[in-house]
Amino acid sequence: MQELETKRLWLRPFRYEDLDRLAEIFGDSETMQYISSGTKTRSQLEAGFPAKLERFDRWGFGMWAMIEKESQILIGRCGFIYLDGTPEVELGYTLNKAYWNRGFATEASIACLRFGFEQAGLDRIVAIAQPENIASQRVMQKVGMTFEKNAHYYKTDVVYYAISKNEFHALHG
């Protein structure tokens, strides 16, 4: 699986030693308030870990651990899953709230989208968020995704954004 690098971040595969920091992020109710599955405990995260680690081999893409270069700390995750059991590929991101609003999700997302279009062979990538999740929608807009529809995924009403390979390259080269 490929590591990605941005100006301030390393995006690398997850390791078991990441579980404590992940549990800090996914156990926080403010961070998870717009995520339909809600908070997760460390043992829930650990139980789901092997399947997540296999995704890159199985699908050719997955979620990367987001490491701040300066501190070497895991500050979140960013990458792809299949949208609620459909064949569509969804961009997703979750950050430790101590790092919100500094452009990290946008920076990581652009690197992930580039990987998706240039290396994983994708032609279109979507993203969804609960309508109240303004920060997430701002990230979608800043990376160049456009609103397509109101939709219903993960048993939740969501806004649905998308970007094509051509649109991505027209914006980001």
Chain residues that interact with ligand COA, rule: CB under 6 A: 31, 34-35, 93-95, 100-106, 129, 133-136, 138-139
Closer residue to ligand COA (CB): 156 or 164: 156
Residue number, nearest CB to ligand COA: 105
Residue 81, both tokens: 């899953």
**Smallest separation (angstroms) from ligand COA to the CB of 158:** 8
Residue 136 in contact with residue 148, Cβ under 8 Å? no
Closer residue to ligand COA (CB): 30 or 57: 30
**Smallest separation (angstroms) from ligand COA to the CB of 119:** 23
In the block, residue with structure tokens 């995520």 = 35
> What is the Cα Rg of the chain in Å?
15
Closer residue to ligand COA (CB): 57 or 114: 114
Residue 34 in contact with residue 136, Cβ under 8 Å? yes
**Smallest separation (angstroms) from ligand COA to the CB of 110:** 10
Angle (deg, nearest 10), helices 165-172 and 104-118:
120
